[in-house]
Structures are given as structure tokens and as C-alpha cells.
Amino acid sequence: MTFATIEHPTKQQLTDLLQRERGLCVSIMMRTHERGRESTQNPIRFKNLISQAIDRVKGEHEALRDRLKQIATLEHDFTFWQHQSAGFALFVCDGFEQGFKLSFTPDESVYVGEHFLVRPLAGACCAGGRTRALALSWERARMFECDGHEAHELSNDAFPTTMDALVTARDAEEQLQFSSHGPKGGGRQSATVMYHGHGEGEDKIEADREQYLQRVGKLLSESATNAEQPLVLVATQEVAGHFNAANPLDVAEVVQVSPDGIDDEALKSRIVEASRPLVQKSAADFSERVNTALANGAAGTELNDILFAAADGRIDTLLLGDREPRRGTFDRESRTVNEDNSADTDLVNVAVRETLQAGGTVYQHAPGEATHPLAAIYRY
């Protein structure tokens, strides 16, 4: 059983997903473990959630139900579940299915309705309230994303990468001038490269290092779909200084430690520690924007008003202060909103969908940080 899976989706990819909705739509959100013994829980959790989805798809939707049963066999794909990130989302409708590997842990849920449930993903896909972290040594470069509480490594076409992969291989004589020494304690740490040489050899090493850092910066710029996220650099003082000199990138914070000299848990902890004040400042800035816009009559906090503005394409930024659904019905034609806890539709999800499709963005506050449970800054 195979189907398309996107790692760490962007705002555009989430918006594109909405264009594929057809008929009854199924959305599954689950946490996953990246590796190790705990990753054996991934297929068990998936089996339970997709079984719930199959049970909820009834009546005339037999084809969709059959497709879900086929996808359920993914439970037995050991390799797939051994290569996960912090979360997994699955979207299925008539003739279409799409998986997302997530850099954050979503609340587990099964949602069946006329639209996909994209609200839990929107804030992360739009990059609000998060930082990027580049863990950089002379040997390799890794990318992480952090929400101020957890950090997760990103894996894509650009990262992780190594100096050897980015710099043209030296000739045979130059290759004899360095040797590799394995990392202490094993694990995923890379070998430490010890360079030897004089004169032109040393000049070549410096040139290679500069080329390596420039290419890392270029990859970072090209892959930065969420370039507005503050950038945290984890590197020694030497590496950080050379990287900043080689690249015109705005580094918000430098953590002066060799990322290859500590284990992954310690590295993630240092990234979280550096990211937390940056995320908190971002949240405070957004709250100030909302309050200023409210004072000028350019924002709203009432669900009805926000739904009408979203349907008209007037929302620049939608701010989500909590994760609780607001269930009910929304009729675009008659412009009526009825809140009803027994309804299937999450009205906040409707506002998120409409905002994304009109080119707006979504910001998700961390728990306890929001002044309002829901707010929108209007374009006009």
C-alpha cells in the first residue's frame, strides 16, 4: 500500500489540498514517534484511528469506505512507520488521498464531513509561532523546527546534508591530507574530520569551507518556504562567525555549542531554550497587532463576523487562540450562522479554509498566550 506523502507541508501545499475536496472527506490526525522502540506504537495508533473512520463512513459512500479499508493495510508497512516525524495527518476523499508528515504533535482526531479538517495544521504550515534552527558544524548541517516547547528535525531534499555532499571532491593527493575519526558513543553523530596540510593545502581547506557554508546558506534560502520564521543557529563561535560572514541571512539567535558534540536530546533542548523567547515575542507582536487593529475597527473577534469576512476574502490574518471546535452550520448564500454542538462541522475550520483560499494566513497561539480565543485582522 503506497500513496503520496509530503514531509512538513507548506501553506501552499495545504491550500492545494483544499482544491482536491470531493464528496465526503475524511481527516485523521495522530502523533507519531520518530524512531526507536516507541515507533512500534505508530501502526497500532493508526489502526485504531482508521477503524474509527471506516465506522463513520456509512450509507452511499461505499467506494470511500472500501478505499479506507485498503489504506488500513498501511498498518503492516513496518518501514513506513519506522520513518516518521512528530505527527502524521491523512486526508481521503473520493478518488484522492494525501499523507502529511508533521513537525509537531497534533491532537489525535478523526473528522468526517464535507471538508477536510485543516485547522490543526494551518498555524504550523503558515509558520506562525515557530522558529527554524540550523545545527551546523564543519562536517554537516541539519534543520529543525521549534514551537518554543518541542523541536523536531526536518528532512527534505536540502537537509540534512554534509560538507562532502556539497563541496566538489578533492583530488587523490588532497584526500590523503585528512582522516576521519569516529564519534564518541556512537549514535547519529558524524565522524570528525581532521585536516592536515600546509600552504596550498590549507588554502584549499579554507576555500572548501567557505564554499560549503555558502551552499548551506543557499540551500537554507531556497528551501525556506517559511522564511519569516526567526532563524536560530547552533554552532561553535568559529563556525557561526564564518557562516555569518559567508551569508547575508538574518540570524536571530546563536547557540554557541558544537551540535555534533552533544546528543540529539541535548541539542533539541538547547534549540527549545533559545527559541522560547523568540516565539513569545512573536506571540506578543501578533497580540499587539490585533489590539491596534481592533482599536481602529480593522479587526474582529466574533465568530459570525469572522465567518462573513472570511467568505468575502477580507481576512489578512486569522488568529487561533485555542483548539476547541465551535460546531454548527454556515450558509454562504443566506449568510446565516447557527452554532450547534451536535453538528459535525467545526466553524473555525470553515474560517481557516476560507482564509487560506483567499490568500490569507493563519497564526496559532500557544495555550494560554492568546488574548482572544478567535480573532481576525481584516484587509479592508
Residue 153 pLDDT > 50, yes or no? yes
The predicted-structure confidence for 157-203, as pLDDT tens digits, reads as follows 889 999 999 996 544 444 444 434 344 333 444 444 444 444 457 78
pLDDT at position 42 is: 93
Residue 22 pLDDT > 60, yes or no? yes
- Residue 33 near residue 42 (C-beta atoms within 8 A): yes
Residue 103 pLDDT > 90, yes or no? no
Residue 283 pLDDT > 70, yes or no? yes
Which pTM does this prediction carry?
0.76
The predicted-structure confidence for 190-238, as pLDDT tens digits, reads as follows 444 444 444 457 788 889 999 999 999 999 988 755 567 899 999 999 9
Residue scoring higher pLDDT (169 or 150): 150
pLDDT at position 188 is: 41
- Contacts (Cβ under 8 Å, ≥6 apart) of 134: 141, 142, 143, 144, 216, 220, 231, 232, 233, 234, 235
Angle between helices 347-357 and 11-18 (to 10 degrees): 110
pLDDT at position 339 is: 94
Domain ranges (residues) in the chain = 1-117, 131-274, 297-380
- Residue 125 near residue 89 (C-beta atoms within 8 A): no
Residue scoring higher pLDDT (286 or 57): 57
Interatomic CA distance for residues 63 and 68, integer angstroms: 9
Interatomic CA distance for residues 264 and 150, integer angstroms: 12
Mean pLDDT taken over the chain = 87
Interatomic CA distance for residues 117 and 158, integer angstroms: 29
> Can 1-117 and 297-380 be said to share one CATH topology?
no
Does domain 297-380 fall under CATH 3.10.20.600? My reply is no
Percent of the chain with pLDDT over 90: 62
The predicted-structure confidence for 352-368, as pLDDT tens digits, reads as follows 999 999 999 999 887 77
CATH number of the domain at 131-274, please?
Answer: 3.30.420.60
How much is the average pLDDT of 82-87? 87
CATH number of the domain at 1-117, please?
Answer: 3.30.960
pLDDT at position 58 is: 84
Interatomic CA distance for residues 138 and 238, integer angstroms: 10
Exposure letters 332-348 (e unless 16+ CB within 10 A, then b):
eeeeebeeeeebebbbb
- Residue 133 near residue 144 (C-beta atoms within 8 A): yes
Residue scoring higher pLDDT (112 or 223): 112
Helix, strand, coil fractions of the chain, as percent rounded to 5: 40, 25, 35
Interatomic CA distance for residues 92 and 24, integer angstroms: 9
Instruction: Give me the phi and psi of 57, to 5 degrees please.
Output: -90, 105
- Residue 173 near residue 27 (C-beta atoms within 8 A): no
pLDDT at position 300 is: 95
Which of 302, 293, 289 shows the shortest CA–CA distance to 363? 289
Residue scoring higher pLDDT (205 or 63): 63
